[in-house]
């Protein structure tokens, strides 16, 4: 069964087609790759999926529910979470509080309960702390829970952003070039972590990358985007052998 079904979406900016007639289907539990060079429209697709932009044409279904045109917060509540190519953390907050920020959709107390520190407030805070620490352990960040997010090394900030996204309890996790700026060792570790998240959280993951070698090692299927249009898509091995992809991206 499809977790995400995108049908013929498109959007223009100033008369220029940024994404044109884009379709893609991702099965539940899949680790799927969306690849293409810089400027191909990959992040624009993410922005369409998460409500940052409203598509001019086409429809988007999440777990068979039409989410086309919904606001970002509504789409998050429906079950899509994302990270960004340029890390967006609450850098002045602690590592723990960054993850807790993602939990507030599921652990809520009233203003009165928080203001007067009523029993429900302490119960919710305790449960959020416990859940946040569980997520931090997955990324080996539990030992730095009280550190300011901005003081973490770059690679750990990347992991923290993924942990915060997971805190919203999504059905579909969108990762926008999560390995950007990482060294080879950090990248390899992150790819292992992404596979761990998919397998142990029963998560469906859509990974944006421009590095074909990176995604081909972990993604079961790929869509190749070029100038806002689908160049080819399918099983990873078939895509890698597609002459159009070889010509466009490998220079052969």
Q: Which CATH number is 2-79+170-250 given? A: 3.40.50.300
At residue 107, the pLDDT reads 59
DSSP state of 148: B
Q: Mean pLDDT by 10-residue block, N- to C-terminus, for the chain (252 residues)?
A: 96 94 97 90 96 97 97 95 93 95 72 57 83 95 97 94 95 94 88 92 92 86 93 92 69 45
Q: What is the pLDDT of residue 246?
A: 62
Q: What pLDDT, on a 0 to 100 scale, did the predictor assign at position 134?
A: 95
By the 10 Å C-beta count (0-12 exposed, 13-18 middle, 19+ buried), 155 is classed as middle
pLDDT at 115: 55
Task: Report phi then psi at 170, rounded to 5.
Answer: -80, 160
How far is the first Cα of the chain from the last one, in angstroms, to the nearest whole number? Answer: 37
Domain ranges of the chain: 2-79+170-250
Report the pLDDT value the prediction gives residue 116, as an integer from 0 to 100.
Answer: 46
Predicted pLDDT at 42 = 93
Q: How far is CA 132 from CA 87, 126, 139, in A?
A: 19, 10, 11
């Amino acid at each position: 069964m499809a977790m995400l079904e995108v049908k013929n979406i498109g959007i223009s900016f100033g008369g220029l087609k940024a994404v044109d007639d884009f379709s893609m289907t991702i099965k539940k539990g899949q680790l799927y790759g969306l690849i293409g060079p810089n400027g191909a429209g990959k992040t624009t697709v993410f922005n369409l999926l998460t409500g940052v932009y409203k598509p001019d044409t086409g429809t988007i279904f999440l777990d068979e529910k039409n989410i086309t045109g919904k606001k970002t917060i509504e789409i998050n509540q429906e079950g899509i979470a994302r990270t960004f190519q340029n890390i967006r953390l609450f850098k002045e907050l602690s590592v723990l509080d960054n993850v807790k920020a993602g939990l507030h959709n599921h652990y809520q107390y009233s203003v009165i309960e928080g203001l007067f520190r009523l029993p429900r407030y302490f119960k919710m805070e305790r449960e959020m702390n416990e859940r946040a620490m569980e997520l931090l352990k997955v990324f080996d960040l539990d030992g730095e829970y009280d550190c300011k997010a901005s003081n973490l090394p770059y690679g750990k900030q990347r992991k923290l952003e993924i942990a915060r996204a997971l805190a919203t309890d999504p059905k579909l996790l969108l990762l926008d070039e999560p390995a950007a700026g990482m060294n080879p060792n950090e990248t390899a570790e992150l790819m292992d972590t992404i596979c761990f998240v998919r397998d142990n959280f029963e998560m469906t993951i859509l990974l944006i990358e421009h590095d074909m070698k990176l995604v081909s090692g972990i993604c079961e299927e790929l869509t190749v985007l070029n100038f806002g249009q689908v160049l080819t898509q399918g099983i990873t091995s078939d895509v890698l052998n597609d002459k159009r992809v070889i010509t466009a991206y490998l220079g052969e």
